Structure 1
Amino acid sequence: MADQREILTDKSIARLPSAGEKQYRVRDTELSGFFVLVGKRRKTFMAQGEFWRDGVREFTAQIKLGDFGEMTTRQARGKAKEALGSIAKGQRPGEAPKIKPGSITLRQAWERYRDAHMKRKGRNSGTIENYRDHMERLFKDWLDTPLARLGRQPNLVVERHDKITKENGPYIANGAMRSLRAVYNHARKSNTELPAANPVSAIDWNKEHRRNTGMGPKDISAWLRELYAMDNPLRREFHLFTLFSGSRPTALKKIRLDHVDLQKRMIHIPRPKGGEEKAFDIPLSRPMIRCIIRAIRWGRIMYSAQAKSWLFPADSEGGHLVEHKEERNVLSKWGNDLRQSYRTLAQAVGVSELDVHLLMNHSLPGVNAGYITRDRLLRDHLRQQQQRISALVVQSVGVERDPSVDLWLGSAKLEANAVQMQAEDQPETTPIAA
């Protein structure tokens, strides 16, 4: 039977016939959501409303108010108004004690992720700052928003990804969403009431292309002339060492003098990207050692106080070089460009893929790589591979083309002879220690 509608009063309800095999409803025409459910033996006052939370309809709530005869229609109507009001506010009538007064906000989730996860696990300060920029700048207006709302309304995340893409670019938009995804996943471990599906999964990721800005052997000579022409000799050595090592600039800027061991010909990087557990040593070639000595000398001249602690000192709060970027018309390649160049040069001189991973402190591919003992390779094998890469850089200048640059770097002929001697003295392959 279809629902009936009329003004509910004590008299009108008393006249309603009992139901047959199936109950029926009579809805009040004055108060939407208030009705009486008529059965075979009793007539029950009911209230029904849509339960919404964070702008999303979750279900239809139906509440029993009492039986006709035990309460008047006026009393039932008053209780119905209260119940429907609670439903309209997003509260479950009769289940208030089970509902938390508030859910974790994005700000709380971010601060917890920062302190309990990133700092505790020794994440790089640059990585933490990158997350902070995403959370506190790109999601600033969401900081006090319940995280559950984003979980229940993934369309908000989709719209924000589109907005950031348009205003800040596709790479920043993707990066911001990766940060949000990580914070949400971490928060859900201790806040099980959050929707299981991460709202970031709803976005269409922007297509990303690996930046192909590395130099090949034929490009190095022109770049070295640019580098030699720079006014700041300490920054000159920093960029050169970045190319020689293939390491991340953020790690190189924080090299302390006590991390440098010229006797063992190694530099220790205690906290690279990934934290202390990713600490590694960089084997030093002869050109790298000369670069370090020049950097120490220039540091003592330019920043005598800071040079007591740092390999690349500067007049900064931390006492070391902070900003490594240059104007492109002054130096065409720096930072990650040089990291890519190192990888390209290594390939040009025939350094194996595995050795390049070890030299650049990349995660090793394959299961068997986990059995390699890196320290056993540092002293001889990896240093020889480092020497081959450095020699290619030095030899690219050529005495007849630019003697001033060659004099700055050291004799290219000596480097060529040294590499040749190593090749003659060493077997084709070096056993891997396990």
Structure 2
Amino acid sequence: MADIRILINDKTVSDLKAPGSGQYRARDTQLRGFHVIVGRRSKTFAVQGDLRKDGKRVASISVRIGDGETMSTREARATAKTYLAQISKGKHPHPKDIPPHGNDTSLVNRNEAARPDNAPEGVTLRQAWERYCDAHLIRKGRSKGTIEGYRDHVERLFRNWLDIPLRELGDDPGKVIAKHDEITNEHGPYIANGSMRTLRAIYNHARKAHRYLPADNPASVVDWNSEERRNSAMGLGDLPNWFRQVAALANPIRREYHLFSLLSGCRPTALMEAKPKDLSLRRRVLHIPRPKGGADHAFDIPLSRQMISCLVRVIRFNRHCYPLQANDWLFPADSGSGHLAEQKERRDVLAKWGNDLRQTFRTLATPAGVSEFDARLLMNHAIPGVNAGYISRHKLLEDHLRAQQQAISSTMFGALGNLIAKEAAVRSWLGPRATQQTIEAAKRDADGEALRRAA
């Protein structure tokens, strides 16, 4: 079949018919040298041009860009312009593919075809990471915690690799395997696997624009460390002792933070960044605008009676302890951000915190009679299967999900029995007028300290 000329775009490439035998080229009417090679089973973007030395033609070359079925024409056209610019300067886009030309090989050798600093073949891990961060993480609204996790992997664990070309890793995956082993030994199996997932994602993203990178992702060949799901949830029988431990914490805002984490099953970072403006006591919801996955996954937490009491207590403590930060954060603290920045407690002080409480919420939803489906909605988990697209979560929020939330909170507090009446520390936290008494005691302590300093 004879070659044809078309304006190459996504539609015209899709409409190209396979030949009965052999192949043909569909040449672009706008960018000379840019074309699509159409075979019986494939369509491939490519460029064709003349390598020249001192104005003399050395060789005519054809360089493939990428698969026409998976690569957009916009991306292919951008790459084609880069390749054609290199060819016009006598530089082969793929130096390893330079064919022999007898005595002419001295005219276009590998040294002369070396990649310039800004050529796509020379893209480094640093450049690929910056592009991935801007185009994939920030533009798609990924949470700050997610971005910082990626950044920690790249800029701390891979800091010695930041300025080496990705192609070097693609050509020598043994380096990646050795790095995975090194991180496993120095930092543990979980962070080693996580760092390799980050590298894998950055490499895959870079290869969309830099098709010269080897197709086999070097991070996919590591011997992954086995990972077991952490089994750190509490049962109903564990709750009384946990409440005793929380009641003994000196900081009342941290007490309420841990309690609300238990009652809501919310992810720790999202809760630390919660703001008063996102709380509606009238509607009885707390809006989480940027959870894991970014703004596209924003959701409302329906509030039970116990959760509302918890938030009312913390708001009163905030006004007394952090009058300035209280305007901006539900859980303020003396930190650079103005809110709680560290949720960890010593295990001998508080046995369970953070994701332990999220697992506990999911575990205790079962004895509370809450279905797996409703528990997933309350925790903002993805719903598997084709039915997910037909569910309007906010339509279930006002009545059904709030009733399910109340069932879980009531089950948790029901496990305490008469603990509040029996234990003085718990009673001073959750008993009648406990909040007011705590604030008054704090004021007396502050006044006493002021008098001592004055004396």
Task: Give the alignment's TM-score, normalised by structure 1.
Answer: 0.73
Aligned partner (choices 160, 164, 183) of residue 202 of structure 2: 183
Q: Which consecutive unaligned segments of at least 5 residues does structure 2 have?
A: 1-94, 433-455
1:406-417 maps to which residues of 2 (within 5 A)?
A: 408-409=429-430
Contact 1:107 1:143 in 2 (8 A): yes
Q: Secondary structure of 2:301's partner?
A: strand
Where do residues 294-373 of structure 1 align in structure 2 (5 Å cutoff)? 294-373=313-392
Residues 151, 208 of structure 1: alpha-carbon distance in 2 compared, 3 angstrom cutoff: same
8 A Cα contact 1:285 1:387, kept in partner: yes
SS of 1:347's partner is coil
Which of 161, 173, 184 is equivalent to 2:180? 161
Q: In structure 2, what residue type is equivalent to 1:336?
A: N
Counterpart CA distance in 2 for 1:125 and 1:83 is: 52
* Secondary structure of residue in 1 paired with 2:102: strand
Q: Is the 8 A contact 1:223 1:332 kept in 2?
A: yes
Q: How does 1:100-249 map to 2 (within 5 A)?
A: 100=119, 103-249=122-268
CA distance in 1, matches of 2:357, 2:431: 20
The aligned counterpart of 2:401 is 382
How many angstroms does 1:61 deviate by? 6.3
3-state SS of the aligned residue for 1:382?
A: helix
Aligned counterpart for 2:102 among listed residues 55, 64, 81 = 64
Q: Is the 8 A contact 1:287 1:409 kept in 2?
A: no
**Once the 2 structures are TM-superposed, how far is the Cα of residue 409 of structure 1 from its aligned partner?**
3.3
Q: Following TM superposition, by how much is the alpha carbon of 1:369 offset from its aligned partner in structure 2, in angstroms?
A: 2.8
Matched to 1:222, the amino acid is N
Query: Which residue type is aligned with residue 355 of structure 2?
Result: N
**Could you tell me how far apart the structure 2 residues matched to 1:207 and 1:58 are?**
38
Q: Does 1:284 align with 2:322?
A: no
Residue 267 of structure 1: SS of its match in structure 2?
strand
1:337 is aligned with what amino acid? D
Report the equivalent of 2:285: 266
Distance 1:126 1:394 in 2: 31
Measure, in 2, the Cα distance between the counterparts of 1:294 and 1:394: 17
- Matched residue SS, 1:282: strand
Is this contact kept in 2: 1:394–1:406, CA < 8 A? no
Secondary structure of 2:103's match? strand
Q: How many angstroms apart in 1 are the aligned matches of 2:266 and 2:214?
A: 40
Aligned partner of 2:374: which letter?
Answer: D
1:191-233: CA deviation from partner (whole Å, max 9, x where unpaired): 1111111111111111000110010111011100000011111
Secondary structure at the aligned position of 2:229 is classed as coil
CA contact (8 A) 1:150 1:199 kept: yes
Contact 2:287/2:299 (<8 A) preserved: yes
2-structure distance, mates of 1:402, 1:271: 40
Q: Which runs of 5+ in 1 are unaligned?
A: 1-56, 67-79, 412-434
Root-mean-square deviation over aligned CA pairs: 2.3
Aligned mates of 1:103, 1:410 — CA distance in 2: 66
* Length, aligned pairs only: 335
What is the aligned-residue identity percentage? 56
Quote how far apart the aligned CAs of 1:402 are. Answer: 3.1
SS at match of 1:348: coil
What SS does structure 2 have at the residue aligned with 1:381? helix
| Contact kept? 1:260, 1:268, Cα under 8 Å | yes
Whether the 8 Å contact between 1:394 and 1:409 is mirrored in structure 2 is no
Letter in 1 for 2:207: R
Structure 1 residue 403: deviation in Å?
4.4
- Name which of structure 1's ranges 333-342 and 310-319 shifts more when overlaid on structure 2: 310-319
Secondary structure of the structure 2 residue equivalent to 1:292: helix
SS in 2 for 1:136: helix
CA contact (8 A) 2:121 2:210 kept: no
Deviation at 1:268, TM superposition (A): 0.4
In structure 2, distance between residues paired with 1:240 and 1:197: 47
Please give the TM-score of this superposition, normalised by the length of structure 2.
0.70
Deviation at 1:113, TM superposition (A): 0.6
Deviation track 1:224-254 (CA, whole Å, cap 9, x = no partner) reads: 0000011111100000000000000100111
Kept after mapping to 2: 8 A contact 1:312/1:321 = yes
State the shift of 1:96 in Å: 8.5
Distance 2:97 2:390 in 1: 55
User: CA 1:260 to 1:100, structure 2 compared with 1: closer, same or farther past 3 Å?
Assistant: closer
Task: Please name the residue that 2:422 is paired with.
Answer: 402
Question: Secondary structure of the residue that 1:209 maps to in structure 2?
Answer: coil
Aligned-partner Cα distance in 1 for 2:422–2:153: 46
How far 1:393 sits from its partner (Å)? 1.6
The 8 Å contact of residues 121 and 212 in structure 2, kept in 1 or not, is answered as no
Q: 2:31 maps to which residue?
A: none
1:262 maps to a residue whose letter is L
Q: Deviations over 1:374-404 (max 9, x none)?
A: 1111111111110111112211222267344
Which amino acid in the other structure matches residue 197 of structure 1?
Answer: D
